[in-house]
Amino acid sequence: LFTELTSSNGSAARAGRHSKATHQETKTYNSRLVLRTIYDHGQISRADVARRTGLSRTTVSELVAELLAQDLVEEIGFGLSNGGKTPILLQVRDASRSLIGVDLSRDEFRAELVNLRGETQHAVSQPLLGRRGKAAIDLVYELLDELVPRATSPVLGIGIGSPGLVDIERGNQVHWSVNLDWMDLPLRGLIESHYDVPCSVLNDCQASAIAEHFFGPDRNRSHNLVVIKSEQGLGSGLILNGQIFHGDNNGAGEIGHVVVQPDGLPCRCGNRGCLETLASVSGILERIAAQRPRIPRTAVYNPARRRQLLDIDEVRRALDNGDPLVRQVVHEAGAALGTAIANLVGALNVQRIVIAGGIVALGQELLNVIQEEVLRRSLTALARETEVVFSSLGSRITILGASAVFLQQELGLTPFR
């Protein structure tokens, strides 16, 4: 098997430059391999690390000594002997580093301080209340001002999941976010200079995909994964060959703005009949509100007021009670999602499709519609081996994924590698 050196984010290759292997890179690689092995196995001896990694015992001992000195790993007592010396067990010190994850994709901004397992140490949130532009940035500062001082261990980084297109090449700028009225906002630079902590900004759906990949039930099994998040907006994040796939201009996963009904409802992107108008939580709420006779119409059209009249839990109750209008709108949403998933499955043959976000509240009835439509529109053999499931990570998914970026970047704790 020929192995090849590639940069972890592909940027060297993308720039057309060639790189060569050096001893320092080999050492960094092996150190990360050891840390990852300990992280993945919970409690493990040096001998077992050597066995699982193929590294020599001497190399493992040297690398573990450094990890102990860095406080990333700790010795926690003795394991069972296999006849020889009683082995000392190692584990990762989950509280030895902190991470901050921020979710800007909802109608309230949320942020959490978490440990190396993504467990909450402290959580804060603030309702957005329509704030845009500079006022929305100030809200981010407000949340971070509260969180950063609470860290009791070194903060590896601040990961931000933002709606819209995020330009990875040019320093994590938010290239375009309609809802927040941000254009080419150098959010990463702003945060880094303000807090002197590494920051990473990524699309909130891509963050959700990282979360599912890293903390989901399928960790260390699926190499490919699509997460579709339906909330105010609708988008997806693609994990292909174990890494987020960004596409040529960071727009990969933007399936919410593929037009599925050319004569459909107007979308905030300027087109009509985008998938988002049919299958986002906002789209579902608006379509029900628009058609529901028992909701009084005011003389002046007021979308903010109309939207407040309904929430997704109310839709779920109406669905459970057999409300025919709600049933129709939800089934149309499910069919549209199923069609989009059939297209994804046909193009990518990814066998694990996870649906996340507020739409999950609609439960099994929605999932059944989606699954039936995928089956109806796909090559039977492909559909049979594909699982379409709801995420179990709940509303913390974006925060988890945004913070996990630093588990990967700073510690190399990527699943699979």
What's the rounded Cα separation, in Å, for the pair 395 and 208?
10
Minimum CB separation from a copy of itself for residue 368, in Å? 18
Which residue, 4 or 364, has its beta carbon nearer to a copy of itself? 4
**Span near a copy of itself by CB under 8 A; candidates 27-35, 85-93, 101-109, 296-304:** 27-35
* Spatial CB neighbours of 402, under 8 Å, sequence gap ≥ 6: 101, 102, 103, 159, 160, 161, 200, 202, 204, 207, 210
The reply to whether 70 sits near a copy of itself by the rule CB under 8 A is no
Phi, psi of 338 (to 5 degrees): -60, -40
The reply to whether 86 sits near a copy of itself by the rule CB under 8 A is no
The reply to whether 14 sits near a copy of itself by the rule CB under 8 A is yes
The reply to whether 378 sits near a copy of itself by the rule CB under 8 A is yes
Which residue, 24 or 321, has its beta carbon nearer to a copy of itself? 24
2-36: b (≥16 Cβ within 10 Å) or e: eeeeeeeeeeeeeeeeeeeeeeeeeeeebbbbbbb
**In sequence order, what DSSP letters do the residues of 340-383 get, joined into one string?**
HHHHHHHHH--SEEEEESGGGGGHHHHHHHHHHHHHHHS-HHHH
The reply to whether 271 sits near a copy of itself by the rule CB under 8 A is yes
Minimum CB separation from a copy of itself for residue 381, in Å? 8
User: Of these, 230, 250, 371, 403, which contacts a copy of itself (CB under 8 A)?
Assistant: 250
Give the strand pairing for 352-356 and 225-230: parallel
What's the rounded Cα separation, in Å, for the pair 392 and 111?
19
320-359 residues near a copy of itself, rule: CB under 8 A? 340, 342-344, 346-352
The reply to whether 172 sits near a copy of itself by the rule CB under 8 A is no
Facing residues of 109 across strands? 126
**Span near a copy of itself by CB under 8 A; candidates 21-29, 125-133, 191-199, 209-217:** 21-29
CB 234 within 8 A of CB 251: no
User: Of these, 122, 131, 223, 316, which contacts a copy of itself (CB under 8 A)?
Assistant: 223
383-402 residues near a copy of itself, rule: CB under 8 A? 385
Question: If binding means CB under 8 A, how many residues of this protein chain bind a copy of itself?
Answer: 81
The reply to whether 134 sits near a copy of itself by the rule CB under 8 A is no
Which residue, 16 or 296, has its beta carbon nearer to a copy of itself? 16
The reply to whether 28 sits near a copy of itself by the rule CB under 8 A is yes
Which residue, 183 or 295, has its beta carbon nearer to a copy of itself? 183
CB 231 within 8 A of CB 106: yes
The reply to whether 183 sits near a copy of itself by the rule CB under 8 A is no
- Residue 42, CB-side half-sphere exposure with 13 Å CA sphere: 1
Structure tokens at 74: 């700790």
Which residue, 189 or 251, has its beta carbon nearer to a copy of itself? 251
**Span near a copy of itself by CB under 8 A; candidates 103-111, 113-121, 217-225, 304-312:** 217-225
The reply to whether 301 sits near a copy of itself by the rule CB under 8 A is no
